[in-house]
Amino acid sequence: MSERRDFDQASGFGSPTSNRLDPGSGRPAASAAGPAASAASGQGDAPSNPAASGPSGSASAAPGSGSATPGSGSAATGSASAASGAPPATGPESVLTCAACGKKNRIRPSDRGVPHCGSCGKPLPWLVNATDATFDLEAKAAVTVLVDLWAPWCGPCRVVGPILEELARDFAGRIKVVKVNVDENPALAARFGATSIPTLVVIRNGRVLDRIVGALPKSQLTIRLTPYLLRT
């Protein structure tokens, strides 16, 4: 299977929305991107209040739902044990909660294997936070890495966050979700050209394979990601 696969975003993926960032400040601009497409697609914008609703039109939710927090089943940054194989000596610590038994596991980034629960041995949902300083460590993994460029004020980001948590559980052992708050990490936002958020970047073996801009429903996002999650 080819490492790069092109998708037609103009058909079958609805009209997800995103918040456009101001190039100078990195803060929300006055409009939001239209149908999900690659950041370079140039498709039209629709008016949007960045603090308002996501694609569903509902009022804004609590900022950062879907972001990782200690003990929530996702991640926290710090310093301790390893994902798999020999424990790395350094690197940010993450706390991952096993979806099977509820055990909390402390791990560090590893480019070998995937994290497994120390209690029941099941693969762990691998979702972590990364910063400008820790991203390169977190992005090195034996599985597909999905980078989520988001911000707390972004309504569509709050829609995508819980979906990514579900996908991390559904595809435990096959995907690593790395969340990056663009307000706090402008260098990464610039590195990936995140002019609208949410922007999802699919990385495998250090190569960018795909970009998804805007909030897709879980079913459509799963279809989009499946080619990169197949075991080869």
Q: Which residues are catalytic?
A: 154, 157
- Residue pair 101/120 in contact (Cβ under 8 Å)? The answer is yes
CA 117, CA 115: separation in Å to the nearest integer?
7
Nearest to 99 by CA among 127, 141, 130, 80: 127
Question: Rounded to an integer, what distance in angstroms lies between the CA atom of residue 195 and that of residue 27?
Answer: 10
d(CA 102, CA 231): 26
The alpha-helical segments, DSSP class H, found in 97-214 are 135-138, 155-170, 186-191
Tokens encoding 38: 């690659």
- Closest Cα to residue 67, out of 6, 18, 130? 130
